[in-house]
Amino acid sequence: MSPATTDGRAYRDLVIYRRLLAQARPYWWHLAGVFLVSVLATPLALLAPVPLKIAVDSVIGSRELPGSLDAILPGFATTSEVSLLLVIALLLVLIEALTQLQAIADAILRTYTGEKLQLDLRARLFGRLQRLSLAYHDSRGTADAGYRVQYDALAIRTVAVDGVIPLVTAALTVFAVSRKRSAAYLGLTAPAPAPAPTHAHVAA
């Protein structure tokens, strides 16, 4: 395949994607809602290991609770290891419940927005096919028109709902997790402070 043919096909694909996104313009508020709900998966994914970290650091280990959590919890919740473990278990249940609610809301919004986009595009395609001449339908066959309406309309959902939004959300999640791990790695590998000079060194 020549470079000119490849460039021409890429240009046509880009034009199709732009037309599909322009077709989805009346539903940008719906797509924005799907995007915001999808983005919530990132902080929830970052919060998932926090209760286990607290259990290892503050129950098994001897570190103090994080300042923000210590300020929120009542005093009796941090008086013993058993009460702190109960708080950690509640945090695990709460984070998992929020994660499931986010997944349900994301699925509902994706389905609703995708169906609305498909219905609108199918109505436009059907109206366009009705305006075509009988000679066109006679030469192409009725199966072609039915296929266009039934299956080609799925492309707008695939691109707008199942393609662009998950791609951006996954990129944000990877960026956030990578940044958090990099910060943790830099914290572990930070050079230790130099020891204070002893009296013998001062005297020398």
For the domain with range 3-178, which CATH number is right: 3.20.20.70, 1.20.1050.10, 1.20.1560.10, 3.40.50.300?
1.20.1560.10
pLDDT digits (tens, 9 = 90+) for 105-156: 999 999 999 888 888 888 888 888 888 787 877 787 777 777 778 877 787 8
Look at the alpha carbons of 28, 33, 34, 36 in this order and tell me if their dihedral is positive or negative. Answer: positive
pTM attached to this predicted model: 0.69
Angle in degrees, 0-180, between the axes of helices 28-39 and 165-188, rounded to the nearest 10: 30
- pLDDT tens string 151-177: 777 878 888 888 888 888 888 888 887
What distance in Å separates the CA atoms of residue 33 and residue 28, rounded to the nearest whole number? 9
d(CA 98, CA 40): 10
What pLDDT digit, counting tens, does each position of 1-53 carry? 555 556 566 667 778 778 777 788 888 898 899 999 998 988 888 888 888 88
Q: In a 3-state reduction of DSSP, which class is residue 124?
A: helix
**Assigned token pair, 170:** 């996954």
Distance CA 30, CA 39 (A): 14
The SS3 call for residue 122 is: helix
